[in-house]
Structures are given as structure tokens and as C-alpha cells.
Structure 1
Amino acid sequence: MSLSTVWTEVDLEAPGRQVGFIRVEHSVHRSAYGTIALPFAVFANGSGPTILLMAGSHGDEYEGQLALTRLIRTLDVSRIRGRILVLPAANQPAVKAGRRTSPLDNGNLNRSFGDRFADTPTGQIAAFITEELLARCDVFLDLHSGGSSLDHIPCSYADLGTDRSMAQRTFAALEAMNAPLSWAQAGCPEGPVAGRAAVRKRVMHLSGEFGGGGRLDHGALDVAERCIYRLLDHLDILEMEEKWRADIRTRFVFNSQEHFIYAPQEGVFEPLARLGETVEAGQLAGYLHRPELPMDPPVEIRFKAEGTVAVIRSMGRSEQGDCLFQLLGETRREEILEMMESMP
């Protein structure tokens, strides 16, 4: 029998607390039989749902990585009912480098879940997550932030799927997470992202954006942990601590292509709006300056729609096509419920 190029020393079916690695074969000059070691934990006790908690898909997104690292260190397996799979550094080479993409193959893990998996380290990680982990799961929570290039207001996110039953269960879980902003999208993602793999496997997909700017924000970390533990409580896997119980006001949001603002040319970006600010269509959003051509006037950037500023580019120097802003529009809970009722 041929040996697998990706495997784990953790027994996915055994009860108890296990912490080990997923091994990805990586043969290079300095290590002919080398592997990439992805930290991996499994907590299993009694009967109940199986959830995959994942962070570090992008190596420069830190809040989720820290939240899951804390969970691995502190979780008492005797308190759970079901099974929790934990990947705190899913694209480990990118995590170690503090970069969005892997230094081994320039792979963006959250753009590697397409119809076929590339025969690269990042592609093999995506294939293992899909075929070995998601195939065993009922729920998938994928934690993100804006990374080095973007600041992102903390929010939870859900792909509602394509049928009414899954959509209703997913939306109930999104509401239970009770983030300040709750963002729901209908259907299956068109891009090759992890949510697409989950929806195709009929696994409930939840996610979130928690901070950014290439740094760790404690307020965003608090929102991420709140979402994790409230979701586990909602699923009856783990009863949450008292500090997470009080409900906060949440706003339901959505986005469309007109909510994105891209740089029309290169230059130094001067934003005039702040995260969380409500803006109007046509409002001046900022400028692009070119210090190398100081006599040229700055280029005005204007918002194309109204909404809440959810994303601002955190890097000053920008090139044509860089995302400068993303807005989120507000919707009513009743509109989401009506949309789900129209699903087959």
C-alpha cells in the first residue's frame, strides 16, 4: 500500500483529549523526507455534533490563532458533549512567516478550495481539510481578520447555503454568536474559498472577521472568543461561561460590489472615513497622493453607496486595484427570514 502524503498522528475517532500534528510531506534539499507540521487537537466526549474550529488560513491574521491556542491549552474535555477539531495554524508556513500566503508555494489557503486541489503544500492542506476533516463535521467555524493590508471591524459571517433547512439552522447559529455585526450571505460562494467546500459537503459554515492591520487587537479578540463559546453553547457541545451570556445589540448586514472602493491609480492613500462610520453615496472617502510628483493634484475617492465602513486599507502606499474601503449595508432580520422562506 502506498503511504499518504498527508496524515495525522491524532486518532480522529478516539475519545478524550489529543494534541498532535497533521503532517504534510515536503521533500526539499535540506530534508529529503521532511514534513510540515500543522498543530491539531481533537476533544471528544460522549455523543453530540462535530465542529471544526480553524484559524491561520492566512498567517497574518492573529485574533483567531490566539483564541484557538488558548482553547487548546485550557479546554476540559470532560465538559464537552460531542467532538471539537481545532486547527489554530492551518497554513503553518504562512503563520510562521506572519504572511497572508505561504512562503513555500505562495499559496493562499482560503483560495485553494476549488473544484480541484493543486499538488502543492497549500493545495494538499486544503484537500485534507475538505476530505478528511469537513467530511466528519456538522459545523465549521473559520476565523479571519483583515490581515496586514486591511483593518476590519469585528463581525460574524455565515454562508446560508442553498436550501431552507440548512439556511434556517445556520442563521440560528449566526444569531446565537451575537456579534456586534452579523453578516449573512445566501447560496454557495462562487470563489474557491473554504466556505464553498463546506457548503458542498453540507456542513454548516460560519466565519468572521476580527481585527486586522497586521497586529492583534484585544477588542477584536474578545469578539472572536465570544463568538466561539456562544456557538459551542448553542450547539450543546460546551456550556459557555457566565461572562459570555449577556446578549448585546447586533445589526444585520450585507454587501454588494458597489460597497467596495478600489484604488484607480497608485499613490499614498489618505482615508477620510473611520471604521464603523456611516457614510453616504457620493461622500468624499479620501485621496490618493503621489509625493514623487508633488505638483500633481490628489485623486479624489468617493463612496458609491451608503453603508457602514467595515474595511479600510491599513497600508499607506497603494497600487491600482488595491481595496481601499469596503462598506456593509444594513438589513432587517425580517428580510433575511423572508429570503430563507423562498428557498426550496
Structure 2
Amino acid sequence: MSLASVWSEPDLDAIGRQTGVIRVEHSVHHSAYGTIALPLAVFANGRGPTVLLMAGSHGDEYEGQLALTRLIRSLDVTRIQGRIFVLPAANLPAVVAGQRTSPLDGGNLNRSFGERYTDTPTGQIAAFIAEELLPRCDVFFDLHSGGSSLRHLSCSYADLGEDRATAEKTFAALEAMNAPLSWAQGGIPAAPVAGRAALRKGVIHLSGEFGGGGALNRADLRVAERCTWRLLDHLGILPMAEEWRAPVSTRFVFNEQAHFTYAPHEGVFEPAADLGEEVQPGQPAGYLHRPEYPGEPPVPLHFAAPGVVAALRAMGRCRPGDCLFQLLGEIPRDEILRRIGALA
């Protein structure tokens, strides 16, 4: 027999309710045989699909962490038809520190899913998720928020994939989640994000942004919980309660590079638009001031594309390259369906 550097104490393939940890070896001066213990819950019963619900990829994104923690406490395994893996604090060192990246290695878990995995705590967590959990799954729902640096409108997100069958199933799940903003993206960013690992494994990838600003917002938490329960109901794994059944009005949106506004230099950012506001190209986005040089005039910033302000910087001071705004452009539902129909 051989020992592993990362292993799950719950049996990933067993029937029933299990709560325990995934252990990641972390040998340091004060603990030669130490481990990082990531909380994991496994619920399996009957016949049905498998879904991975994950939050805490970034430690300062709180709505998803609490939504999944509540789900673990309340879930009755006898009502399930299928299997649910729940990782409420996926990058535990970052979660405990309340920061985006791990204090152990500086690792950003959602940027650690490339073709190869680093031999670091964050890299090993990514490897276990990608190579042990995702191959057992049909659907992956990864909950995010804007974190400490951004406030984000609540929205669900879907990587439609590159083939028609996957896109149709993914879009159906996105619609079922019924968030106020339903963000359907035709191509996943060319970055080592978790969604790329899911698509490599043939797993439907769904995500969402629910609040931010380094604090917990009750309204955004409710949207995160609603999307989670409605997804489980749509998959046939677990019927949702009546409180989640009433539909809400949703707008379908997309994202492109022109939707971002970045800081050209260091300074204090004064926004000229609010979260949720509709803006047009050329409209003032804000101003960058440098109080350390009070005689200098502020630098005006302008939006490059139309859209709704979906994310707004939550920190006053910024550095060159910091994201100040992200817009989302509205797209008709029929246009999404037309693009899906054009896929092979």
C-alpha cells in the first residue's frame, strides 16, 4: 500500500450522509507531518446525477461560503436522488485569513487549474478537485462574489461549452437558476480557472457572482441560496422548498473586453456611476485623484461600451491596472439560442 499527499476521509463513493475533511499534507517547522483539513460533505442516496457545490475558492467571498454551510446543516439525505459534494471553504487557508489568496503560498485557487498543478498547498487542492471530485460529477456549481476589491451585482454564470448538447443542458440549468442577471458566456476565458478543468472533464460548469465588498450582504446571500436550491431541483437531485419556486424577472447578459475600465495610474478613484446603472460609450466613468499632488487635475475616465454596471471597485485607493468597473451587456434570449443552435 502507498500513502497519498491529499486524501478524503469521507468515502466519495459511499451512500448516506458524511461530513469530514479532505487532508492536504503541509509539512512546516511547527508540524512536520501536518495537514490542512478542508471541510467536505457528501450526500448520496438513490439514483441521479452528481453535483459539486463549491465556495471559498477565494477566502474573502462570503455569500457562497454561508449558503453552502447552511445547506450542509439543513440537508436531509433521504430526500436526495443522486449525490452532492459540498466544499464550503475550498481554499481553507484563504478562508480563515479572510483574503483572496492563500497566506501559505500566495495561491489563487481559481487560477490554479492549468494543465499542470504546482507542488504547493493551493496547487494540491486544485489537483484533488480536478482529478478526484470532478471526474465523479455531472455538474459543477462554483459560487463567487466580488471579494474585498469589488462590489458585484448578483448574477448566475454559465460556460456554454463548445458543442450544442453541452450548451443546451448548460443554458437550461442557467435558466432554471433564475437569477436577476443570467450571464451566458460562449467561451471560457483562456486562463487556468476551475471552469476549464470542468470542461476538460466533460462536466457542466456553472458559477455566479453574489455580492462582495469584503462583507456579507443578506440580499446577495439569498440570491446565492435561491440559485443553489433551484439548481438542485432542476437536476432532479432534491426538490426545492416553496419559498424558492416563484420566478423572478431575469435579464440575459454577456461580457467582452470593452466592458472593463482599468486604472491608468495610482490614485484615489472617484466613481461617476453606481452599481446597477445603465451606461453608454463615452459617458464619464469617474476620476483618478492623487492627493499627494494636490495641484494636479484629476484624470477623467470614460466607458468604452454600453452596459449595466455589474462590478464597481470597493477600495478607494488603486494601482495601475486595477479593475474599476465591469459592465455586462444585455443580449436577447433568442440570440443565445441562435448561437447555441449554430454549434456543432
Normalised TM-score (structure 2)? 0.99
Structure 2: distance between partners of 1:41 and 1:189: 30
The aligned counterpart of 1:142 is 142
Question: Contact 1:177/1:231 (CA < 8 Å) preserved in 2?
Answer: yes
Q: State the partner residue of 1:265.
A: 265
| CA distance in structure 1 between the partners assigned to 2:153 and 2:283 by the alignment | 20
Matches within 5 A, 1:55-134: 55-134=55-134
Cα pair distance change 1:23/1:287, threshold 3 Å: same
Q: In the alignment, what sits opposite 2:305?
A: 305
The residue aligned with 1:333 is 333
- Correspondence for 1:285: 285
Structure 2: distance between partners of 1:320 and 1:272: 19
Q: Could you tell me how far 1:188 is from its partner in structure 2?
A: 4.1
Query: Could you tell me which amino acid in structure 2 is paired with residue 86 of structure 1?
Result: V
Contact 1:275 1:312 in 2 (8 A): yes
Aligned-partner SS, 1:59: coil
- Amino acid across the alignment from 1:90: A
Query: Which residue matches 2:203?
Result: 203
Q: Secondary structure at the match of 1:210?
A: strand
1:159 aligned partner, one-letter code: D
Partner of 1:169: 169
Aligned letter for 1:329?
G
1:303 deviates by: 0.5
1:19 aligned partner, one-letter code: T
Aligned-pair CA distance for 1:131: 0.5
Equivalent-residue separation in structure 2 for 1:9 and 1:156 (angstroms): 32
**Secondary structure, counterpart of 1:191 in structure 2:** coil
Task: Classify the secondary structure of the residue corresponding to 1:154.
Answer: strand
Cα contact 1:188–1:199 (8 A) shared by 2:
no
The SS at the match of 2:212 is: coil
Does the CA contact (< 8 Å) of 1:61 and 1:144 recur in 2? Answer: yes
What is the correspondence of 1:146-295 to structure 2 with a 5 Å cutoff?
146-295=146-295
Letter of the 1:76 counterpart: D
Which residue pairs with 1:21 in the alignment?
Answer: 21
Q: Are the aligned partners of 1:263 and 1:322 in contact in 2 as well (CA < 8 Å)?
A: yes
Aligned length: 344
Q: Which amino acid aligns with 1:211?
A: G
Unaligned runs of 5+ in 1: none
Counterparts of 1:12 and 1:267, CA distance in 2:
49
Output the amino acid matched with 1:197. Answer: A
Letter in structure 2 aligned against 1:98 = G
Aligned to 1:8: 8
Give the Cα separation in 2 of the matches to 1:251 and 1:337. 14
Is the Cα–Cα contact under 8 Å of residues 105 and 121 in structure 1 kept in the other structure? yes
Asked if structure 2 preserves the Cα contact closer than 8 Å seen for 1:159 and 1:189, the reply is no
1:186 offset after TM fit, Å? 1.5
**Equivalent in the alignment of 2:314:** 314
Q: Distance in 1 between matches of 2:187 and 2:279?
A: 28
Q: CA deviation at 1:189?
A: 3.4
Rounded to whole Å, the distance in 2 between the matches of 1:183 and 1:138 is 20
- For the residue of structure 2 that corresponds to 1:102, the secondary structure is coil
CA offsets 1:66-107 (integer angstroms, 9 cap, x no match): 000001111010111100000000000000000000000000
Q: Deviations over 1:218-273 (max 9, x none)?
A: 00000000100000000000000001000111000001100000001110000111
Counterpart amino acid of residue 68 in structure 2? L
Structure 1: distance between partners of 2:187 and 2:218: 32
Distance in 1 between the 2:317 and 2:239 partners?
A: 46
Q: Residue type matched to 1:201 in 2?
A: K
Q: Over aligned residues, Cα RMSD in angstroms? A: 0.6
Q: Percent identity?
A: 74
Report the secondary structure of 1:173's partner residue: helix
* TM-score, with structure 1 as normaliser: 0.99
1:187 Cα deviation from its structure 2 partner: 3.2
Give the letter for the 1:83 counterpart.
R
Q: Does the CA contact (< 8 Å) of 1:162 and 1:188 recur in 2?
A: no
